[in-house]
Structure 1
Amino acid sequence: MSINSSPRGLIVGAINFATKELDELRSIVPIEYISSKTRNEFFEDCQTKYKDVEVVFIGISSVGPFNKEFVDKLPPKTKFITFHAAGYDGLDIEACDARGIRVSNTPSAVDAATADIACILILSGFRNAYQAEHNLREGRWRNGVSLGHDPEGKILGILGLGGIGKAVAKRMHGFDMKIQYHNRTRQSPEVEKQYNATYVDFETLLKTSDCIYVSVPLSKATFHLLDSPQFAMMKDGVIIVNTARGKVINENALVNGLENGKVSAVGLDVYEGEPHVIHPGLLSHPHSTLLPHIGTYSKETMYKMELVCLQNFNAALTKNTLITPIPEHYHHFKK
């Protein structure tokens, strides 16, 4: 197959780190960068100069959001989307299904980096690192800083023992924490043994964990998974950490828990209204460690994510398949 007769690929966003691999791929299949300046111009271009594109890479781009309107306006021949993220709630999958477009994401590429940030937040919650640092910068040394707690011997409850959850379990076991988890589907005994993790039901995890780490994808089933009734079940003084998606937790309920003492500390990398709206009760509370969604924000991880996208790009363009399809699309690629 010549490069001129190959299916065409379009990059909506940018490849900043895996540039060598992109150049190698572009030498065998036709791939171009989006040149449209606005969302409306992109929609027009999809029907003209991009009309033969079959595979679309989607990263951070000014032509978003990637909602039903966006998916419906993609080139008529589009068959595949390679999505530059592990979480894909920012893409309308129902609209993709309606058009027969199959989607890949970057699941394993983000595990280590996100787990590192989760552990920073967990430890900060136990040791009250944010308040201590803030006091020092304000010239107050330790005056007024609350005593922290040692993580050793405490129970870490992981909601979602997927790739990231496993990486967190591995790391925090090194701090002699007791690991329990809840999944929709229980892991095998071999996996539980490998990660020193004990399976419990959802209510048991809420009632018995000293720290609850949220690592579930956002869906209709997990929207506000932690809300006022769930906080009421938790231990007094529980620590809440979330690196998944902000909307998994009702922030009003979380702030209420902080203010009444049910929650002793929070560590967040994600927010309901990010990036523009952060709950003022979180911003003002001395026991909240807040990061600006930097779970995957490292050069090495960005490279790994782009590489997975390009591997899917290559498979879609040359073999009419995907390497890491999203779970909803697994069945389309079963042999």
Structure 2
Amino acid sequence: MSKPQVLICGTIVHAHDELKNDLGAVAEVLQLDSADRQAFYKDCAEGGRYSNITAIYRHNDSASSIGVFDADLIAHLPASLKSICHNGAGYDQIDVAAAKQRGIHVSHTPSAVDDATADVAMFLVLSSLRQFYRAERNAREGKWKSGLKPAHDPETKVLGIIGMGGIGSALARRAEAFDMKILYHNRNRNPNAQPSWEYVSSQAELLRRADVVSLNLPLNPQTEKSFGREQFGQMKDGAILVNTARGGVVDEEELIKALESGKLSSAGLDVYPAEPKIDSRLVAMEQCILLPHMGTETCETQKKMEVQVFGSIKAVLETGKPTFLVKEHRE
């Protein structure tokens, strides 16, 4: 009896042994090599090379050849497909509603990214409070402490986390080690939150009380540009914004205005609305700490993510449904 077919849409960088010996033991693994989107559609059509695939392993790097998984692409996927198993916690490159309408499950890798992304967020929190970017540049330019003013300790500062999922929880644990007070805002109270983390049902109250605000929420139609003029106006004067979620959840024009006016003393950013482009006005601001989307750029985390996707695909083959379904497909 032939094995079910699985299509790899993206590059496997670390988990080659697991791909061959684990997933390869239960599935025939095909590698995406369609030249472009139209060629991919042809390969997915009846009688095409991918017409019998059961699951897709998807990584964002496949967008360079076939584009994002929008409604049009999903409409061309073969009838045999049961699941798109995405490598990444964020899945804004997939039209999950279109997939759901076709009966195709979508999964992602939430827990695998938690620690690495929280490390980046904590780095941005500390760097923003202490203004380490300016200090490092001084050191490299031979200026020592010229022009540097005393910054701020993290101890006793209030960290407000918007989105207390896995990443937010990992960040809270790290911040507590620096004696920061933790507030968090979610749609609902997190039942796994530590007793010392204060749940705030009103986002406006969190913004009013927090010295540093960290965004840890997904990008979707409801959250796009949800953090803008009103939210910046509710923050403390001189507060700090940290974003390791998605650039699109912030109204970038309003962020720049808040920084230029001094409403925000600093911002620590790992994500941007038009990646890989970073607005030149942000680049010119000495008070901003900017990273090029480094959240999961570690060998260990990337391997965890790859292996987690393989596990979701195996679940599809065994039960018809992947593990780690996106929230829209759990509702």
Structure 1-normalised TM-score? 0.94
C-alpha distance in 2, partners of 1:232/1:319?
Answer: 49
C-alpha distance in 1, partners of 2:112/2:51?
Answer: 31
2:186 aligned residue (163, 183, 187): 183
Name the counterpart of 1:255.
256
2:165 aligned residue (159, 162, 165): 162
Residues 292-311 of structure 1: pairs in structure 2 closer than 5 A:
292-311=292-311
C-alpha distance in 2, partners of 1:31/1:290?
Answer: 39
User: Which stretch shows the higher mean deviation, 257-266 or 136-145?
Assistant: 136-145
SS of aligned partner of 2:66: coil
SS of aligned partner of 2:193: helix
Residues 58-137 of structure 1: pairs in structure 2 closer than 5 A:
58-59=58-59, 60-61=61-62, 62-137=65-140
Give 1:313 shift. 1.0
Give 1:39 shift. 2.0
Name the counterpart of 2:32.
34
Name the counterpart of 1:46.
44
Name the counterpart of 1:57.
57
C-alpha distance in 1, partners of 2:223/2:194?
Answer: 23
SS of aligned partner of 1:191: coil
Name the counterpart of 1:328.
328
C-alpha distance in 1, partners of 2:232/2:304?
Answer: 36
Name the counterpart of 2:242.
241
User: Which stretch shows the higher mean deviation, 297-306 or 217-226?
Assistant: 217-226
C-alpha distance in 2, partners of 1:281/1:192?
Answer: 39
Give 1:58 shift. 0.7
SS of aligned partner of 2:194: helix
C-alpha distance in 2, partners of 1:330/1:140?
Answer: 55
Gaps of 5+ in 2: none
Name the counterpart of 1:228.
229
8 Å Cα contact 2:82-2:321 kept in structure 1: no
8 Å Cα contact 1:245-1:272 kept in structure 2: yes
User: Which stretch shows the higher mean deviation, 154-163 or 59-68?
Assistant: 59-68
Among all aligned residue pairs of Structure 1 and Structure 2, give the percentage whose two residues are the same amino acid: 42
Name the counterpart of 1:269.
270
Residue type at the aligned position of 2:91: Y
8 Å Cα contact 1:125-1:239 kept in structure 2: yes
Give 1:15 shift. 1.5
Residues 194-233 of structure 1: pairs in structure 2 closer than 5 A:
196-200=196-200, 201-233=202-234
8 Å Cα contact 1:156-1:210 kept in structure 2: yes
Name the counterpart of 2:15.
18
8 Å Cα contact 1:237-1:262 kept in structure 2: yes
Q: How many residues align?
A: 324
Give 1:138 shift. 2.2
Give per-residue Cα distances to partners, 1:93-141, cap 9 Å, x unaligned.
Answer: 1110121110110010000000000000000000001111112222222
8 Å Cα contact 1:160-1:183 kept in structure 2: yes
Give 1:146 shift. 3.1
Give per-residue Cα distances to partners, 1:134-181, cap 9 Å, x unaligned.
Answer: 122222221112321001001000001100000000000000001001
C-alpha distance in 2, partners of 1:312/1:111?
Answer: 18
Residue type at the aligned position of 2:209: T
Give 1:27 shift. 2.7
Give per-residue Cα distances to partners, 1:233-263, cap 9 Å, x unaligned.
Answer: 1111001000001011111111111111110
User: Which stretch shows the higher mean deviation, 173-182 or 131-140?
Assistant: 131-140
Name the counterpart of 1:7.
4
Q: Does 1:173 align with 2:176?
A: yes
Runs of at least 4 residues off by over 6 Å? none
Q: Give the alignment's Cα RMSD to 1 decimal.
A: 1.2
8 Å Cα contact 1:9-1:317 kept in structure 2: no
Residue type at the aligned position of 2:281: G
Name the counterpart of 1:290.
290
Structure 2-normalised TM-score? 0.95
C-alpha distance in 2, partners of 1:131/1:75?
Answer: 53
Give 1:28 shift. 2.7
8 Å Cα contact 1:8-1:317 kept in structure 2: no
C-alpha distance in 2, partners of 1:232/1:108?
Answer: 33
